[in-house]
Amino acid sequence: MSADLRELLELASDDVPDLDLATEAWEEARRQHRTVVRRTVIGAGGVAALGGVFLVVQDRAPAPVPTQGAAPMAMGADGRLPTAEIGGVTVYLAPDPPAEAGLPRYPRATELAIPRHLGPADPAIRATSGSGAPPGVAEPLRAVFLVVAEGGGYHPVLFAPGAPVQVQVLAARITQWEGVQSALGPRSISDDRHRVVIPQTGRILVLDARDLSVREVEVPDPTLSLAGWARDRTTVVARGRDGGWLLDPRTGSVRRAAGAVNPDWADIAEGVGAAELRSFGGSGELTGSEPLLGPPVVPSKGSVSNTEGWVAGGVFLPGQYQVALDRSQGLVAVHTDQLPRPRVLAATQGPLVPKAAYRVLAWGPQDVILFESRSERAGFPGLVRRVLAWDVNEGRLYQVADVDRAASGVGEFSGTYTL
């Protein structure tokens, strides 16, 4: 009977197509491996959460996908954003800049030690290193600002919520050159919240807030535009126009990377024909890449990722986004352990909205991305800067802080900062 049954089953299955599950199983194994690696590296080195305060991990249900063609609703009083769907991608429609002031306050801003008004203290009350300032800043750094230095360039100002004053470090003179939008980025401050790395022409500068020491490491690349601490908490990753570099500031060793590098777990970069989601190991070296799903987007600025697999970055929105929504820039957020289908936060268009209006800063707890929104105000010079928070799971937008206006006088805030 068993032989007859086997023959019958073989005959019945002749017309059933074979399922090739190897590719799908391999991709799922890679995603699970990335999750384990991220958590292992963070656990081995100790967890330093955003601002040195805390890290919350919580599973959430995915945001509901709106019905194709449904008219978007107005933004809710709780910060819930109206949505649209473009080619299978959920797009959250951000309010215009004047309406940002009416957004609800981010409920965890106080816990993260982010003040309502963010910026370096008045020069008259700011302590200056070498002139009666404390010997160092022992508390975890909340932010680093650049202020205008006498004779050109900038000095960093260190802000730690537990410190009595903000400290201006005169021993570090920073320059920003054409083509580099900001010498400070999302990974400028180390995970221990004490060390700061800044790219310069042909060198990187390492500042330790605990003793205000400044060290320079020469890099044979005059085009460095990015430097940040890798997730192994030791390696500094730097990028220039033609390649990447891996440095150990403790020994001064420098080596050119064989492939793409990034100081974070993942980034969103330009690929061949489509933007790519790239993954990196704890030392900043490339481990894999895959194209983003949905209509094409064009990465415009840096990315930042978190331990739970999210990565967010600035993008330009061509094609279908402009035709359907009349919006051309914003942010995308992608989960690296799922299918790489982005969620988009689209900025409004208008004469008061500059190019690259959004810049990612850092991840907060429970998958909330903190970012800078820049806009202009009719009849007033200079940019209006705000820190906003986008909850990528709940589809809500919050106001976090107003950023001091930039000025050009010695000791005044330059407008460049990182959290």
Of 156, 214, 212, 208, residue with least CA distance to 182: 156
pLDDT level of residue 140 (50, 70, 90 thresholds) = very high
Q: What is the pLDDT of residue 21?
A: 46
pLDDT tens string 367-412 = 999 999 999 988 777 889 999 999 999 999 999 999 998 887 889 9
Q: What is the pLDDT of residue 338?
A: 86
Is residue 143 over pLDDT 80?
yes
Q: Rounded CA gap, 33 and 281, in Å?
A: 11
C-alpha torsion sign, points 303, 309, 310, 316: positive
Q: What is the pLDDT of residue 179?
A: 58
pLDDT tens string 27-75 = 555 555 555 455 555 454 433 334 443 323 233 334 433 333 434 457 7
CA–CA distances in Å: residue 110 to residues 21, 220, 299: 48, 43, 32
Poorest-pLDDT segment among 85-99, 174-188, 391-405: 174-188
Q: What is the pLDDT of residue 46?
A: 39
Q: What is the pLDDT of residue 401?
A: 96
Contacts of 331 (CB under 8 A, 6+ apart): 312, 313, 314, 315, 344, 345, 358, 360, 369, 371, 390
Is residue 26 over pLDDT 60?
no
Q: What is the pLDDT of residue 131?
A: 64
Q: What is the pLDDT of residue 66?
A: 39
Secondary structure class of 5 (helix, strand, coil)? helix
Q: Rounded CA gap, 211 and 138, in Å?
A: 8
Of 387, 392, 236, 257, residue with least CA distance to 311: 392
Phi-psi region for residue 16, left (φ > 0), alpha (ψ -120 to 50) or beta? beta
Of 397, 416, 238, 240, residue with least CA distance to 333: 397
Q: What is the pLDDT of residue 70?
A: 38
Poorest-pLDDT segment among 98-107, 166-175, 208-217, 372-381: 372-381
**Burial of 15: CB neighbours in 10 Å, binned 0-12, 13-18, 19+:** exposed
Calculate what percentage of the chain has a pLDDT beyond 90.
65
Reported as half-sphere exposure (CB side, CA atoms, 13 A), residue 336 has a value of 33
Average pLDDT, the chain: 84
Q: What is the pLDDT of residue 180?
A: 62
Is the pTM of the predicted complex or chain greater than 0.85? no
Q: Rounded CA gap, 225 and 412, in Å?
A: 24
Q: Is the distance from CB of 327 to CB of 317 less than 8 angstroms?
A: yes
Of 108, 119, 107, residue with least CA distance to 54: 108
- Annotate 190-204 with DSSP letters as a single string: -TTSSEEEEEETTEE
- What element of type H or E holds 63? none
C-alpha torsion sign, points 44, 248, 239, 364: positive
Note the residue count of the chain: 419
What is the residue whose two structure tokens read 């990377």?
257
Q: Rounded CA gap, 237 and 68, in Å?
A: 42
- For residues 342-350, give the mean pLDDT: 95
Q: Is the distance from CB of 170 to CB of 155 less than 8 angstroms?
A: yes
Give me the phi and psi of 314, to 5 degrees please.
Answer: -80, 145
Q: Which domains occur in the chain, in start order?
A: 50-414 (2.120.10.30)
Is residue 320 over pLDDT 50?
yes
C-alpha torsion sign, points 23, 276, 308, 345: negative
Q: Is the distance from CB of 224 to CB of 239 less than 8 angstroms?
A: yes
Q: What is the pLDDT of residue 113?
A: 92
* Amino acid symbol at 43: G
Give me the phi and psi of 100, to 5 degrees please.
Answer: -60, -30
Q: Is the distance from CB of 68 to CB of 361 less than 8 angstroms?
A: no
Q: Rounded CA gap, 94 and 349, in Å?
A: 10
Q: What is the pLDDT of residue 242?
A: 87
Instruction: Tell me the CA end-to-end span of the chain in Å, nearest whole number.
Output: 73
Is residue 14 over pLDDT 80?
no
- For residues 289-314, give the mean pLDDT: 92
pLDDT: which is higher, 23 or 165: 165
CA–CA distances in Å: residue 7 to residues 15, 157, 319: 14, 79, 56
Phi-psi region for residue 108, left (φ > 0), alpha (ψ -120 to 50) or beta? alpha
Beta bridge pairs of residue 344? 91, 332
Q: Rounded CA gap, 354 and 375, in Å?
A: 6
